[in-house]
Structure 1
Amino acid sequence: MLHTVEFARQLDILYKDYQSHMELNLAPTLTTSQLAVLEVLEQQGSLKPSDLIPFLSTTPAAVTMLLDRMERVELIRRDRDESDRRIVWVSITDKGHEESQRGIELRNTYLSGVLDKISTHNQQLLVFLMGKISGKK
């Protein structure tokens, strides 16, 4: 139980520091949630709004509000499907691509700084152990 409490405490510290760093440095044009959407769109291509829900762990209404804000600042574009007008496709714009790259660079710089505090061997071990805990390799 002691390890669980200490793990939770350390994870909370890291997460809060990461979130604070990202929100501060992404502002005013981007949030971490918007960055997540842009990254998914870059990896997957155009998607329906409902396809984004598993990546964001949120509700359909929250995704709609997020996409509304992103469309207003021209990070994404929503287009009706030509063969079925009920379907809406979300795609990344050039501005969205630029902001995504900026966000990824900010994140990589931050995480490199965190990981540089431990040896390369321990970095590899940490990534391995995190994969074990998350169930992903």
Structure 2
Amino acid sequence: MHTVEFARLLDILMKDYQSHMEVNLAPTLTTSQLAVLEVLEQLGSQKPSDLIPFLSTTPAAVTMLLDRMERGELIRRDRDDTDRRIVWVSITAKGHEEVQRGIGIRTDHLNGVLDKISTHNQQLLVFLMGKITGEK
């Protein structure tokens, strides 16, 4: 019984979030590009295949995404010095600037959403989401 209502409310939240992010990240970023930049910012240079779990997509789609990001000067791809078959993806100075801008946009939006409920309920919501996802 709660499943239908949960799905409906989650759908509303996700559509609102996606719409807000798409509009405010444009024209230099997409939500997928922001995800890549965040991984590179946190973990350093990665192989394209290392990015797949963070994006829930196919290797071909990652390659196309990285192509666009390289054209936009958000990332750089370099061949490994010892094994030329390996390509390393790293964030550029422009990518660092854009990831900070994207995080700010997301933070402002989520703060606005969460400001509708008390601090206690925010903590409870995060706790319950952790239980649902198995993260806590």
Q: Same fold (TM over 0.5)?
A: yes
Within the alignment, does 1:23 sit opposite 2:22 as a pair?
Answer: yes
The 2-side partners of 1:74 and 1:36 are apart by 16
Q: Secondary structure at the match of 1:29?
A: coil
Q: Secondary structure at the match of 2:106?
A: helix
> How far 1:116 moved relative to its partner?
0.3
- The residue identity in structure 1 corresponding to 2:96 is H
Matches within 5 A, 1:83-122: 83-122=82-121
The 2-side partners of 1:89 and 1:126 are apart by 38
Q: Supply the RMSD in Å over aligned alpha carbons.
A: 0.4
The alignment's TM-score, normalised by the length of structure 1, stands at 0.99
Q: Secondary structure at the match of 2:17?
A: helix
The 2-side partners of 1:3 and 1:25 are apart by 33
Can you list the C-alpha shifts for 1:33-85, whole angstroms capped at 9, x where unaligned? 00000000001100000000011010000000000000001000000001110
In the TM superposition, structure 1's runs of 4+ consecutive aligned residues that sit over 4 Å from their partners are none
Residue equivalent to 1:44: 43
Can you list the C-alpha shifts for 1:71-127, whole angstroms capped at 9, x where unaligned? 001000000001110000000000000000000000000000000000000000000
The alignment's TM-score, normalised by the length of structure 2, stands at 0.99
Q: Which runs of 5+ in 1 are unaligned?
A: none
Residue equivalent to 1:124: 123
Residue equivalent to 1:7: 6
Residue equivalent to 1:80: 79
Q: Secondary structure at the match of 2:85?
A: coil
Q: Secondary structure at the match of 2:77?
A: strand
- The residue identity in structure 2 corresponding to 1:71 is E
Alignment size in residue pairs: 136
> How far 1:12 moved relative to its partner?
0.1
The 2-side partners of 1:86 and 1:33 are apart by 25
The 2-side partners of 1:66 and 1:86 are apart by 20
